[in-house]
Structure 1
Amino acid sequence: MAPSDEAAPKLDRRVVRTRRAIQAAFRDLVVHEGAGKITVSAIARKADIDRKTFYLHYASLDELAEEQGRLVVDRITQVLVVGREPDGITVNLRTVVTELAALFQEDPAFYRRVARELSVDSMVDTLCEPVRQAIVASNPPAAELDQPGLDYLIRFFLAGTLSGFVHWFLTEPDTPIDEVVDHIQRATGDSHLFHLTG
């Protein structure tokens, strides 16, 4: 094996390690400073790199922020549609909020800061299209539905789910999430959040 072939995996690991350090520094600064106050210099200090190294990995702070935002949106989108039942067109309430709770507990300080800084409306605006695409991809007949109606239904689903979940996460995290679901189900008489069939 040529020396250059042996060096390539080491370089790749170093690049991955540096990118992870930058991403971890960004998330930590979001928690402690808020997204609006983060600078490249602060990220570089926390990641133990220089500014030049940061710019080898990201063209700008905005690029890093957009990447991290996309990762969060992708994870939440996956969770929001994971509760699909075998018919492919209903979403189970307990599954969705339990999975959301598990996701948020992976990095509670980060998600708490995000939940405090973003309004439910902005979360809905950000998640509406990715969730619609995920629903249509998993249930092709949904593409044939009345699209404005589908969009309103998705917004209704997202707003209710996120509003209730964020309220629990920020104000009552010691209450078991199953207990919250039980309250909602007793109040609504329904175990589902979302019915594409109406």
Structure 2
Amino acid sequence: MNKPKIDLRIVKTRKAIKDSFLTLIQTKGYDRITIQDIADQAIINRNTFYLHYIDKPDLMEKLCIEHIDLLNVCLPEYTEDVQNEDPSFMVIALKSLFLILEEHVVFFRTMLTHEIESSFSSYLKDHFKQIILSGLDTPPDNLKIQISLEYMVSGLVGAISLWIKEPEHYSIDEWIEQLSNIHFNNILDLIRSINGHSVQ
């Protein structure tokens, strides 16, 4: 069965809108951007914008979902690997993660270093929590476990935010090595705590 043909004009227009939106966030800030600003920057008219997006929040939401979906692809479920105490999975997962961050550095840098940083950081932390807890039968309800999880993902997002500001100054492999050494044992301890709590 033939796949539907991709309309390259639509792809090109949406890319222009998204690139213009990110540029404007950096120069004007999210709250001060208007649809007309985006249209002018992308060299389209307002009606063309509305053919693709409902409004500015819709554009922001779709951008975030699009890039979070990229992380879903690069970060496989790894609960079983953690429980088998195989540290190599962490290096592989982090390598995949940082390659995505590097490829889409403009988006992640904009989201993590401008005035919308706090909301996107929370969005990213929630996503990492879901990945860490994937494969578990029940979510943890123990306060100590919840605090440990929050502490862990906050540290990971903080490290990503630090790297994303000046990625050219840091070796990805060195960054991954440090994060892997820190987070593998943290995740392993967390999974053990959850499993131990669930059988009590």
Tell me if TM exceeds 0.5.
Answer: yes
Matches within 5 A, 1:83-98: 84=78, 86-87=80-81, 92-98=89-95
Per the alignment, residue 150 of structure 2 pairs with 155
Match of 2:46 among 48, 51, 59: 51
Task: Return the letter of the residue paired with 2:153.
Answer: L
Q: CA deviation at 1:191?
A: 4.2
Cα RMSD after superposing both structures: 3.6
Q: Which has the larger displacement, 115-124 or 35-44?
A: 115-124
Task: Return the letter of the residue paired with 1:125.
Answer: S
Per the alignment, residue 115 of structure 1 pairs with 112
Match of 1:18 among 10, 13, 17: 13
Identity across aligned pairs (percent)?
23
Q: CA deviation at 1:112?
A: 2.2
Q: Which runs of 5+ in 2 are unaligned?
A: 194-200
Q: Which has the larger displacement, 41-50 or 99-108?
A: 99-108
Q: Which runs of 5+ in 1 are unaligned?
A: 1-7
Give me the TM-score of the superposition, normalised by structure 1: 0.69
Per the alignment, residue 139 of structure 1 pairs with 135
The Cα offsets for residues 103-146 of structure 1, whole Å up to 9 and x where unpaired, read as: 2211323322322126876445323443444445x4142x2643
Task: Return the letter of the residue paired with 2:51.
Answer: L
- Number of aligned residues: 185
Q: CA deviation at 1:51?
A: 0.7
Alpha-carbon distance in 1 for matches of 2:51, 2:176: 46
